[in-house]
Structure 1
């Protein structure tokens, strides 16, 4: 799809702003975050990689506060979460997770991000074995360790975590699971203390 001379054929992540009827998306070919009216009448480059060194990957919106969060990469070095105003202003690096081995580097495109609208927390999956819970300022509140295979999509609602799995190495078998947000195998982080337990009930 070409609009106003721009190539929109390499879209990786899409988020809808229902309050203002806009659609936000990552154009991986041009390394931009763009915003358009839902009817396609107007499009605008919100962020270009030349402005930020962080290559955008996945985006989530918090329209009530006018905030956009996106995952970003520096190839073979680190994963990031960046906060940006939905008007393209006030870019801020919230969170950085350095890659430490070849497996992390190979899977640098897999990190996922979702937003808990009830608790107002971000959930970041590093594509391997950890899910991080962060507040709106990027502070890590909780780390959940995954004992199962990696997943390709996830959402949080109330006290549940919804995950989808695709086994691309065999027969493209798809699976969908619902798990409690109260995780098994976790580390709770708080001011001045750390717990390492086999079973932890989360309280937010």
Structure 2
């Protein structure tokens, strides 16, 4: 990483774009407090966190996977995650409704279809009711149905005032929901601006 500086704003979807080895995941790990930068400052909602752990109700990340245990249902697993996150029951009910998980709560984790796993991963990210949401390559391996669903959910969160930061290789499927683009190359921000400025429509 070399002097990286950029902002992701509330109510907007920012795409951190770059090639496979551009350093996107490293940046996300720094934002989540998993890696510590040698210098500089990370501020979230106007508050610098430095090397301290960022509260989970400020920034949340969509997990890359969930348990596929044959013994537990999706509902049981989600409620365990909600208990750990301190999610009140009314908020959990709202997240279940928002992510369309109502009919999947009794399904065993190992029996969930890919779209069900995707819904669970996104729901878990929302449990802390975060002000900022981080996602690493969220469209990777998704079919059209999964892509449409997650893009709609991402846009809904931005419309609620959440700052959404997505790390991705160039992917035209993200264009309709993108507000701002940060281009990363070999650990350096080389361009930053609105989609209209940096990611021209065909």
TM-score of the pair, normalised by structure 1: 0.29
Q: Which has the higher contact order (CA 8 A, sep 6+)?
A: 2
**Greater fraction helix:** 2
**Greater fraction strand:** 1
